[in-house]
Structure formats: C-alpha cells, structure tokens
C-alpha cells in the first residue's frame, strides 16, 4: 500500500481523535468571573489568576504529550516509507 499525503492526514486525524475532547483556554477564560476595579486588588482575584495559571500549565503539559505522540506517529509512518 502506497502512503499518500491524504492517507497520512487520515492516519494523523485518527490518532488525534483518540485523545478525546479538550477544553480550550478561551472557553476557560469565558468562565472566569469579572472583577470590579475596587475589588481588583483583593485576594480573590489573585487566587483566580494563580488557579488559571495552574490550569494553563496542566493544559500545556497535556498538549506537549499529545504533540510528542503525533510526532512519534509521523516518524513511524515516515520510516515505513
């Protein structure tokens, strides 16, 4: 079987589909509560920012793992050519 660009794209899309749905950072940002200017310096907004940073770091790590899997799959397919 000859590996074409279309077949390669299909294989990659199948691998990506195995990872499942992921919530985007934009969706998380929409869920964040808005803070009035007089409450901006409060501890609550600082805690929310720290929590948001932690969530972004978790998502970054998850995306890095996904990228490693995709790159490894691409390498395996390229070697089989």
Q: How many domains does the chain have?
A: 1
The top-scoring range by mean pLDDT among 8-12, 20-24, 56-60 is 56-60
CA distance 21 to 24: 9
Summarize the confidence of residues 13-20 as an average pLDDT: 80
Q: Which domain holds residue 16?
A: 5-79
Task: Supply 18's token pair.
Answer: 């195995």
Confirm if 30 and 15 have CB atoms less than 8 A apart.
no
Q: Is the pLDDT of residue 41 over 70?
A: no
Confidence of residue 53 (pLDDT cuts 50, 70, 90): very high
Task: Report pLDDT for 69.
Answer: 95
Task: Report pLDDT for 65.
Answer: 95
């Amino acid at each position: 079987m000859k590996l074409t660009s279309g077949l390669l794209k299909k294989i990659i899309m199948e691998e990506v589909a195995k990872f499942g749905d992921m919530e985007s950072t934009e969706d998380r940002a929409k869920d964040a509560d808005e803070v009035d200017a007089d409450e901006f310096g409060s501890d609550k907004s600082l805690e929310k920012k720290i929590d948001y940073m932690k969530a972004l770091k978790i998502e970054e790590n998850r995306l890095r793992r996904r990228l490693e899997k995709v790159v490894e799959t691409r390498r395996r397919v390229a070697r089989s050519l």
